[in-house]
Amino acid sequence: MKKIAVASDDGQSISSHFGKTKGFVIFEVEGQEIKGQEYRPNTFTGHARELENVGHDVDRHGPILSALNDCKVVISNGMGRRLYDDLCGAGKEVFITEETSVKKAIDLYLNNKLADNPDKTCEH
């Protein structure tokens, strides 16, 4: 069983910015079959915790890594480069996709067709 986190404000479309998303659709999959789904509100990213103007000595990504610890895959339309690197360093499979539909992105992922565009990361 594998969990996939998709950044989404409404459960239908993928958020354009991982850190500013209202939450995450968490899919539980086995093979190519979705076994379960939940919505996890975002209370843990730096933006959600209002840390935009705080120095870099604050642990901004630890709470994200902890909150999504059970997820092996993370999908978004965009995120900061440091976060992308931290998620990859934590052993996550990270996708920055141009796909905007949560359902379509999951279908593409399950069929090994979801493209990752790490060059779409942004600098903060």
Tell me: the pLDDT tens digits for 32-87?
A: 999 999 999 998 776 655 555 544 554 567 788 888 999 999 999 998 888 899 99
Per-residue pLDDT band for 120 (boundaries 50, 70, 90) equals low
Place of tokens 């409404």: 10
What pLDDT does residue 80 have?
85
Query: Contact at 8 Å (CB) between 40 and 5?
Result: yes
Structure tokens at 110: 């399950």
Query: Contact at 8 Å (CB) between 24 and 5?
Result: yes
Going from N- to C-terminal start, the domains of the chain cover 2-120
Q: Is residue 92's pLDDT more than 80? A: yes
Report phi then psi at 87, rounded to 5: -65, -45
What pLDDT does residue 17 have?
84
Q: Is residue 28's pLDDT more than 50? A: yes
Q: Is residue 117's pLDDT more than 50? A: yes
Give me the chain's average pLDDT, please: 86
Backbone φ/ψ region at 119: left (φ over 0), alpha (ψ -120 to 50), beta = alpha
What pLDDT does residue 59 have?
56
2-120 has which fold?
Nucleotidyltransferase; domain 5 (3.30.420)
What pLDDT does residue 124 have?
46
What pLDDT does residue 60 have?
65
CA 94 remoteness from chain centre:
7
